[in-house]
Amino acid sequence: MNFNWFRKEKTDYPDFYLAYLEGFKKKPKSNIEETRFVAFDTETTGFDRKEDRVLSIGAVSFVGKSIPVSNSFELYIHQDIFKSETVKIHGIRKNSGYKKVTEMEAIQAFLDYIKNSVLIAHHAGFDKNMINEMLRRNGLGKLKNKFIDTGVLFKKSKHKIYEDTLQKHYSLDDLCKELNVLKVDRHTASGDALITAMIFLKILARLDKQKHLKWGYLLHG
């Protein structure tokens, strides 16, 4: 007989992860205007969450409709796994001059930055899976934050949803064009995080006009 369902949640986590979990015991903000959002992006060695690794994480946090760039977050992670063919996309070389930290140091810094905020990412499943895999490799639990996917949210904001709209894969470049968002430092984690935040606010404005600005409409997972 399998008694796995009686197992208690692991409690021997390091203090920084327990502090992160503690933040979710607080009652979340009941309105969008007071909620802290964190838009983030990862640059990786590839697209396989098991085999590939996160090279850098960039993020911006904001409350309301303005984005204070002074509150941005960026770090680079030392990795033994490296694929030279992806350098042309993210520009991060193995022996670049960036100061790099270990995965565990990156995890601690990132969790301390995001806390219990609502996370925003473009095609969020990929970035979420890559971060969760980092957590798993280092003996930690998964991210507990609520997520908003700007790709999914943009489709919801269309006045009329046709079958081809549902099937279309909107890239970050597509949304920059559709919403007239300036592409600042594209294909860097910090640049793409800022672009994602600006796209999110543009979509919010559209949803507000359509009277669809509700939590259930925004949250992806």
The Cα–Cα gap between 45 and 54 comes to 7
Which residues are registered as beta bridge partners of 63?
Answer: 36
Domains annotated on the chain, with CATH: 32-218 (3.30.420.10)
pLDDT tens-digit series, residues 30-87: 788 899 999 999 999 888 988 899 999 999 999 999 999 888 999 999 887 655 554 4
| pLDDT top residue among 3 and 125 | 125
Most confident of 76-80, 97-101, 111-115: 111-115
* Lowest-confidence segment of 65-69, 129-133, 180-184, 212-216 by average pLDDT: 212-216
b/e map of 24-61 (b: 16 or more CB within 10 Å)?
eeeeeeeebeebebbbbbbbbbeeebeebbbbbbbbbb
The Cα–Cα gap between 77 and 60 comes to 18
Provide the mean pLDDT of the chain: 85
**Two tokens, residue 156:** 């919801």
Q: Which pLDDT score is estimated for 130? A: 96
